[in-house]
Structure 1
Amino acid sequence: MCQLLAMNCNVPTDIVFSFTGFAMRGGHTDTHHDGWGIAFFEGAGVRHFVDHQAAVASPVAELIKRYPIKSKNVIAHIRKATQGQVALENCHPFVRELWGRYWVFAHNGDLKQFAPVLDGAYRPVGDTDSERAFCYLLQQLRARFGDTRPPLAQLRAALTELVREIATHGTFNMLLSSGTELFAHCSTALYYLVRQYPFDTASLSDEDVSVDFSQVTTPNDRVAIIVTQPLTTNEQWTPFAPGELKLFVDGMPQVGDSIELI
């Protein structure tokens, strides 16, 4: 299946280190060679790059590894096709508008007999189960809350119901963000870690690269990394529980209902 990578931070941060290891899984250290993509939030805008080539052979991926775009929320995906042809329109992440914000979504898994009626503004361009699921999520959120974004606790509760519904059709590991928060749902495999002061050196598992984060951060920085399989060999990664939906804000997983966007 595909692999997912996300970053949620309290200050704009580049993802060059994590993406360097992640991209190696797109045809070198793993067999995910059916395309890739990445999206960076910057204010209300999104930088969105996709390519149907394998990440290890893509000139666009090479650009991302060398260009330190800074963002508080990033979602990336490398594809191993289960539904839909290898084509640009089927590369994740996907981007749509809801409540005057861009939303970015990526999915790892395979949904069987998932053919919801999509009768509103959200229609898939490609032919993947993933894009159908994204359109369905946004359609249902608009149907529940209308044209006004609800408080974050209500949004999380609604997404918890919707992702559980979709997951009855198969594997639904997914990432979703509007640029101010990051939702991550696990069906089978997701891990996360939070890097914060005091920072240490991290070493990639897929590439002979290490970074001493104490040299490139401030004591106030905090970064959460979410990934299908751990990216480093010397850090403590926390597994998600199957069926768990986590919400990350400002580089930390949120617990309880007393959460609001800053």
Structure 2
Amino acid sequence: MNANTPTDVMFSFTGLATRAEEHKDGFGIAFFEGCGLRLFVDHHSARVSPVAELVKHYPIKSDNVIAHIRKATQGVVSLENTHPFVRELWGRYWVFAHNGDLKGFAPVLHGAFRPVGRTDSELAFCWLMQELAKAHASVPSVEELTATLSELVPRLAAHGTFNMLLSNGQALWAHGTTRLHYLERKHPFGPAHLQDEDVRVDFAAETTARDRVAVIATEPLTRDEPWIAFAPGELKVFVDGQLLVRSETGRLTHA
């Protein structure tokens, strides 16, 4: 989730946690609070994890959130292999989560970014951080980061399925290889029903006219909102709850 103001994420997290019957090999959620970051992970399913119950009762309000439910393809079911993963670069936290399976990906890591666990996902994250650090001598803009990521991400996707979310607290980048959808909530807000649970929220009663929220998920979390599918190989960036797109001049502007 990416928003223009700290926003409650529990409605979406409830819908995501319901899908942990198949993706039962761990869950995690990371959310930014200013320059700080809170991270909760557990290698147990979100359906039974006491950590998930804690999260459901924690008053999470954030403008950038990444949550993940794991179905292990590489690496055993363990805490160190549980997404999201976190690293520091340029004095900011970076958070990454990945659905997919990368084959034959064995990069040379020669910098400060090394995986703790044994997943292809964390390895890909460390490589991305290494290459971003090499590409920019100082803190880049969101536009510059997006341009660099648009060159790096296809090199990862060439090894298999690479559906990923990445955030540094300023923006949220999302790449889809197979299945990924996004939704922008904005004024006028209305009610929404979860796809997998009998839970309903009237966002009109919870928001102001200036609020904007973008939600990205593998499959739509609600059944009565206009979700849009990513095209295969598409990289999108969201800032302040809005999708940014390249203009005719090549600059990023709000869609």
| TM-score of the superposed pair, with normalisation by structure 1 | 0.94
CA deviation string 1:20-79 (max 9, x = no partner): 01001112xxx1100000000011110000000000001111122222211000000000
Q: Which residue identity lines up with residue 119 of structure 1 in the other structure?
A: H
Determine what percentage of the aligned residue pairs are the same residue.
65
Of stretches 70-79 and 248-257 in structure 1, the one that deviates more from structure 2 is 248-257
| Equivalent pairs, count | 250
Please tell me whether residue 21 in structure 1 is matched to residue 23 in structure 2.
no
The CA distance in 2 between the partners of 1:17 and 1:141, in whole Å, is 33
Counterpart Cα distance in 1 of 2:15 and 2:71: 17
Q: Of 12, 18, 35, which aligns to 2:6? A: 12
Runs of 4+ in 1 over 6 A off after TM superposition: none
Counterpart among 169, 194, 198 of residue 188 in structure 2: 198
Corresponding residue of 1:170: 160
Deviation, 1:184, is: 0.2
Distance 1:205 1:160 in 2: 32
Of 56, 60, 63, the match for 1:72: 63
Pick aligned residue for 2:116 from 100, 104, 125: 125
SS at match of 1:132: helix
Equivalent residue for 2:128, pick from 129, 132, 137 = 137
**1:151 counterpart = 2:141:** yes
**Aligned pair 1:223/2:213, yes or no?**
yes
Alignment check: 8 A CA contact 2:113 2:127 kept: yes
Partner of 1:3: none
Please state whether the residue corresponding to 2:75 is helix, strand or coil.
Answer: coil
Higher relative contact order (CA 8 A, sep 6+): 1
Q: Is there any run of 5+ residues in structure 2 with no aligned partner, and where?
A: none
**Matches of 1:21 and 1:113, distance apart in 2:** 34
Output the CA distance in 2 between the equivalents of 1:136 and 1:252: 28
Are positions 1:110 and 2:101 aligned together? yes
Whole-Å separation in 1 of the counterparts to 2:141 and 2:106: 29
Higher share in strand: 2
1:259 Cα deviation after fit: 4.2
Shift of 1:122: 0.1
How many angstroms does 1:15 deviate by? 0.4
- In the alignment, what sits opposite 1:4? none
Provide the rounded CA distance (Å) in 2 between the counterparts of 1:155 and 1:78: 27
Aligned counterparts of 2:9 and 2:25: Cα–Cα separation in 1: 22
Partners of 2:142 and 2:171 within 8 A in 1: no
Where does structure 1 lack aligned partners over 5 or more consecutive residues? 1-6
**Alpha-carbon distance in structure 2 between the residues aligned to 1:150 and 1:63:** 36
Asked if structure 1 preserves the Cα contact closer than 8 Å seen for 2:25 and 2:70, the reply is yes
Letter in 2 for 1:8: N
Amino acid at match of 2:69: I
Residue 258 of structure 1 aligns with which residue? 251
1:188-238 deviations in whole A, cap 9, x for unaligned? Answer: 011000111111000001111000000111111110000000001111100
1:248 aligned onto 2:202: no
**Equivalent residue number for residue 32 of structure 1:** 23
* CA drift at 1:258: 3.3
Could you tell me the TM-score, scaled by structure 2's length? 0.96
Q: Distance in 2 between matches of 1:138 and 1:123?
A: 10
